[in-house]
Amino acid sequence: MTCTTQYPDKMCLLSFTVFFFFTCMVATTLLLPASAATTEIRVVKYAVDEVSILAEKTVGYRWMEQNLRVYGDGATHYYHQGPIFIDDPDPAKQEALRWNPAEDTNVQEKDMGAVKGTNLKDLCNLVGGMEPGDTLKIRSSDGWYKMLPYKNVYEYSSREGPIIICWNKDGKYPDTGYTDGMRIVWFADTSTNPWGIHAFGVWDWHEAADEKYWYYYQQGNEKYPTTTGLSGMYISEILIYSQDEPAGSIDVTSTPTGAEIIFDGDETGEVTPFTLKEIPAGSHTVSVRKEGYLSSDEEWVDVTHGMAIPVHFDLEREFSSATSGTSDATLPGGIRFDGEQGSLGVVMDGISGNVTMLAANGASQVCRSGQTLSYRIATDMLHASPSQWARLYVFSHRGYTSDHALEVRVNSVKAGIPDRSTYHHADGRVSETLAFNVTPMVQTTGAIEVSIRNPPGGNEWTVYPPVLLLLHHDGGEQTQKNWVAEGTGFIRAVEDYSVQDLENITITDFSDIQPGHSGAELVVIGTAPEISDTSFPIVLQNSVRIPGIHTHEKDGVWFCRFNVTSQLPGYVHTEFIWNAVDPMDQTEVAPRLAILSLSYPEKPATSEQGGGFSPPVSPTSPRPTDDGQHLSSPTPSVPTSPSPGVSAIHTGVVLQDESFLSRIWRTIFWIFGIPFPEYQTHAFVSGEEYSRDFDDRGGDAHSPDHLDPSLPSYPLNVTTTPPGAMLTVSGLAEISIAPATLLLPEGEYLLEAEMDGYLVNQTLVHITGPLEITLVLIPDDTAQKSDLAETPARSRHGGLLIVTYPGNLELSVDNKVMEGKSPLVLYGLKEGYHTVKATRPSATVGKGESIIARGWIHHDAMSMCELDFVSARLDRTIRITNLSGPPAAFTLNGFYPLLHTPVTIDVSRTGSFITLMGERTFTSVPIPDSMWDGSEFILPPYLGNYHTIAIESSPPGAEIFIDGARTGNITPSLVTGLSEGPHRVMVSLPGYIPAQRLISVPRTNEEVVKGTVSFILDTYAGGPLRVESIPNGAAIFLDGIATGEKTPSSFSGIPVGVHELTLKSGEITRSRDITIRPDNANRYVVVME
């Protein structure tokens, strides 16, 4: 470039600048997608979560012309209006002028042409149409969009007319010259303008649509109404946002068929095989039952929209026992042991038979989430006679506690609910022994196949080869008597034994040993990662030291045998230790089982003959059973509570002021079971039902207004042990929660205290002055089970933290307006999808004043939802597909819910990524920023490495989520399986606000990434909540949002303050305001009858 001007340097610089700017503009233009006429429209109907697609259809203009009604004749012109550029000093007059009711300004200039097209309503009907309350988004290929309500699409007035998607103008189609097509045009009538033309005026839209749908042309601070701006060009999508819940189905099958299906705790009336349809997306429980078979365990099923989830149940027959006087599901002569730390508890005492102990073939290994381990137990050498009972033991080591349990199957049949013994290590980890009664599953021929599955989301466990114990009938002249103790111990090798070193001793006590035995052997079975050559086992029985020998040591499972023939009086205290010759020996072992076997030359005497042996348990034994699987320890009999209206005296009731005569009469009536006259508790007063809603505020005084005011009143201070019992008094409608103070007129009353899990306590009180009374409630362990249903161990609800930028914005969840503003903590939301909306009141009408997001609530955890008004967001529509294999499951930008390919979604133009969910892997795949709107993104293969990261929190113990998915790990922890690239890490701890961070895993050959992802968690003010109803089974709603729970149910972490509690049962609905206090039980009972 040459310059010949007077100022060559300046002119050259100017010329170069202009040239460079022009070049950049051309290059930028070439990179941007060009807006062009569209020839087809994609019509989608979404569920209420605004992501799940209920129906979808794509049609071209040729198909519309041939299959749907055509609007317009190709000759008649249609017009829009505006803007109306009129100003006036008077704001009211200026607004009236700009709306131009006369429709005589800037109308004929807005000629849309002689157009033809298809009614928007007809296109909506292709995917199921709209319902009142639904909204619709019309979107152009250049990103422009407009929201419209049901009313203006379906119930339009003649002055506004139908909304037409025009694909022909003056005889030209979008691909033959109609360059603005396809375009929205309102086909208004001719009644509201001076020329009698089809004009859609701004006042027409003012009268036809709600204010939030009006459209303005904005110039500085001035706003000018216009309908021309409503006439979008290049229409490519019609998106219907319905009120329908996302739903899927569950295919329920069983072996055998014909089992009744129970869904979310309710009978369905259907039997297997059957498909439960229209099930709301989220987590649900399914179980089945069939006469003659054991009831199945509840299975949790995660329902995804549009998918059929299979669930199968293998039912076990209710077998009859091979031994008279016992059942398969019980331990003969057994006592239930609850797994006291540091000891093994006797579960079978003095039962006859020969014991066989078999260890499975296979290695000890880590069982990760979703993984299944398989083992085989050879039974070639088993006794030919059938097993009297069989017990399978599964040993796990150093996992974290969780609500997920290992699933065990024997010969492909589910092993049922185990007896569980747990050892809690100092670092927070646990080791467990799971004991299964498998008598019906064990055959005398063929190998026994054992599978151990760690459900998805479960913690990692080290699992050792299982051990099988079998008891066969005696066939010889000698009688064998056996004791079995089980649990989970943990000891370290010690050089010198000390009775004070309790941490390194595992204790077992055997009792009722009959004298006269000819031989005795103790076998201890346990686990250990490895055992050194410089250590060995010993036991001390009644302080006598007895060395042992290894008879089996393989894959972490060991058997030790001890000859204890000379050390067995009637009671034996056994201490098991591991002796180390080398003081540096670091051996750690976990004793799990102890089997004591005695041989007698002939049958010993029974306990009635003075021998001290426990007789076999008969089917009519008074010992209560625990779920029919084992016997509970005997408990002293406790009288059951009398029926309402009967006066009763219970052990533990302390009356501090009562006449002697009153006590005598009350005792006499109670002994003979006669209702005490004149004192009854009713659910109705004067023929009208009274409300039994109440809350636990503790210590409140109550002054009933329907008692005789002429009598002197005195305070009755009532406390209960434990506190929190529901108190009712005969003749009073009020219900209180102990401790409470009741102001009662002089007289006698029947006071009743009731609490879940305890016997009802009914006591007659005589009020002659101030009185204090303490009622001690007796646990309902020995009486019949209460009619009140138990709260399930695994809840169906969780929490949500909503954060907006900027803060202090109005919020709604599932279309329910929240009382508080952002940031806002909610707890008690049903697990599954929820829709969150944030509104910025100061924003210009029609200019994106609201942001709607969809979030997933995890049970027993806090999730996060962020809505950002500050950062500019330009969306594009991308279709995600994979070329081969089944649909891929993934999350978008590290947030749940789980999506499946193929799917069309809106993503940000920059920085978006998806995470593919594998078997304990999280594969991050960036979506290229260069992809245009409407592009297809085919998932590429991942060729990188997977890495491990360290995550910690203060305080520790928070649950870890990766890219929205539950990992089952608890802080501090190493989380494996992260690919290179972006990942979202979140930690959640009950009672604390969750925290999250977007991290980037570098490309490296190192498996463990250096550094630690750390979080500091803050608390929030919350309290417990207990909700009950009479009768049970009412659905619980908090602040108008479903919790997924039914009464009775307990919640923790409900934010303090006033909430609306609603219960629904059939056609009955009860609502009331409740107050959550952090230092209170917050118990509420509602009568639904």
pLDDT band at 819 (very low <50, low <70, confident <90, very high): confident
Q: What is the pLDDT of residues 528-560, one digit of tens each?
A: 888 777 677 888 776 678 888 877 888 889 899
pLDDT at 178: 95
What is the residue type of 820? G
For 960-980, how does the pLDDT look when each residue is reduced to its tens digit (9 = 90+)?
999 999 898 999 999 999 999
Query: Across the strands, what pairs with 299?
Result: 286
242, 149 Cβ separation under 8 angstroms: no
Place of tokens 């019309």: 138
Which CATH architecture fits 354-473? Sandwich (2.60)
Q: Is 120 helix (H, G, I), strand (E, B) or coil?
A: helix
Return the CATH number of 336-351+475-605, one of 2.40.30.10, 3.40.50.300, 3.50.50.60, 2.60.120.1200. Answer: 2.60.120.1200
CA–CA separation, 679 and 749 (whole Å): 7
- Select the highest-mean-pLDDT range: 298-302, 496-500, 907-911, 1078-1082: 907-911
Please report the DSSP string for 21-58 in residue order.
HHHHHHHHHHHSPPP---SEEEEEEE-TTSSSEEEEEE
How many Å apart are CA 899 and CA 892, to the nearest integer? 8
Of the chain, the percentage scoring pLDDT greater than 70 comes to 78
pLDDT for 499 equals 55
pLDDT category, 616, cuts 50, 70, 90? very low
Range(s) of the chain covered by CATH 3.90.420: 40-237
Confidence of residue 606 (pLDDT cuts 50, 70, 90): very low
Supply the pLDDT for residue 474.
60
Please, are residues 516 and 565 in contact by the beta-carbon 8 Å criterion? no
Instruction: Please give the Cα distance from 348 to 167 (Å, whole number).
Output: 84
40-237 placed in CATH 3.90.420: yes
Q: What percent of the chain has pLDDT over 90?
A: 31
Tell me how far apart the alpha carbons of residues 498 and 528 are, in angstroms, rounded to a whole number. 22
If one compares 337 and 494, the residue with the highest pLDDT of the two is 494
Q: What was the pLDDT predicted at 658? A: 38
| Average pLDDT of the residues in 260-266 | 88
Chain segment 1035-1082, per-residue pLDDT in tens = 999 998 888 888 888 898 899 989 999 999 888 899 988 989 887 778
Cα–Cα dist 477/454, whole Å: 46
Q: What is the mean pLDDT of residues 80-97?
A: 89
Residue 7 tokens, joined: 């100022």
pTM, whole model, 2 decimals? 0.51
According to DSSP, the residues that pair with 525 across neighbouring strands are 559, 593
Least confident range of 21-35, 55-69, 604-618: 604-618
Q: What is the pLDDT of residue 557?
A: 92
Q: What is the pLDDT of residue 412?
A: 79
- Is residue 168 very low, low, confident or very high in pLDDT (cuts 50, 70, 90)? very high
928 SS3 class: coil
Predicted local distance difference test score (pLDDT) of residue 542: 66
User: How many whole angstroms separate alpha carbon 329 and alpha carbon 666?
Assistant: 44
Burial class, 928, CB count within 10 angstroms (exposed 0-12 / middle 13-18 / buried 19+): exposed
Spatial distance between the Cα atoms of 610 and 512, rounded to a whole number of angstroms = 11
pLDDT at 8: 38
**Is the pLDDT confidence value at 509 over 90?**
no
CA distance between the termini of the chain: 94
What is the chain's alpha carbon radius of gyration, rounded to the nearest angstrom?
Answer: 38
Position 443 scores a pLDDT of 62
Comparison of pLDDT for 201 and 548, the residue scoring more:
201
Q: Is the confidence at residue 801, as pLDDT, over 80? A: yes
CATH 1.25.40 applies to domain 654-776: no
Whether residue 860 is predicted with pLDDT greater than 70 in this model: the reply is yes
The two tokens of residue 459 are: 């913690």
pLDDT at 644: 29
For 228, phi then psi, to 5°, come to -65, -35
Strands 1049-1055 and 1057-1065: unpaired
Highest mean pLDDT among 87-101, 171-185, 575-589, 885-899: 171-185
Residues of the chain with CATH 2.60.120.1200: 336-351+475-605, 354-473
pLDDT at 637 over 90: no
DSSP string, 825-885: EEEEEESEEEEEEEE-TTSPTTSS-EEEEEEEEPTTSEEEEEEESSS---EEEEEEE-SSS
Polymer length in residues for the chain: 1089
Region 613-638 average pLDDT:
29
pLDDT at res. 350: 81
Tokens standing for residue 863: 């999730």
384-393: average pLDDT = 78
929-957 pLDDT, tens digit each: 998 887 889 999 999 999 999 999 999 98
The distance of Cα 254 from the centroid of its chain, to the nearest Å, equals: 25
pLDDT the model gives residue 780: 61
Instruction: Give yes or no for residue 733 having a pLDDT over 80.
Output: no
Q: What's the confidence (pLDDT) of residue 766?
A: 82
Bigger pLDDT: 824 vs 683: 824
**Token digits of residue 678:** 């004149």
φ, ψ at 24 (rounded to 5°): -65, -40
Q: Provide the β-strand partners of residue 877.
A: 906
Structure-model confidence comparison of residues 182 and 781, the more confident one: 182
Identify the CA nearest to 1056 among candidates 1038, 1042, 1069, 1075: 1075
Count how many Cα atoms sit within 13 Å of the Cα of residue 736 in the half-sphere of its side chain: 26
- Whether 333 has a pLDDT exceeding 70, the answer reads no
699 backbone φψ class: left, alpha, beta (φ>0; ψ -120 to 50): left
947's tokens: 């890495």
Superfamily the domain 247-314 falls into? Carboxypeptidase-like, regulatory domain (2.60.40.1120)
Domain with CATH 2.60.40.1120 in the chain: 247-314, 1022-1087
Q: Which of 88-102, 135-149, 427-441 has the lowest mean pLDDT?
A: 427-441
* pLDDT value, residue 382: 64
Name the amino acid, one letter, at 213: Y
User: Quick check: 1008 and 945 in contact, CB under 8 A?
Assistant: no
- Report pLDDT for 426: 77
Q: Of 1017, 895, 1027, which Cα lies nearest the Cα of 957?
A: 1017
User: How confident is the prediction for the chain on average, in pLDDT?
Assistant: 78
pLDDT at residue 445 in the model: 63
pLDDT tens string 653-699? 333 333 444 444 444 444 444 443 333 322 222 222 233 333 443 33
Residue 109 φ then ψ, to 5°:
-70, -15
Eight-class DSSP state of 504: G
Domain topology for 1022-1087: Immunoglobulin-like (2.60.40)
Looking at residue 547, its pLDDT comes to 83
**Which uninterrupted H or E stretch holds 663?**
helix 660-671
User: Rounded to an integer, what is the distance from CA 636 to the centroid of its chain?
Assistant: 39
Q: Which residue has the higher pLDDT, 469 or 414?
A: 469
β-sheet with 163-169: strand ranges across:
183-186, 163-169, 111-119, 77-80, 198-200
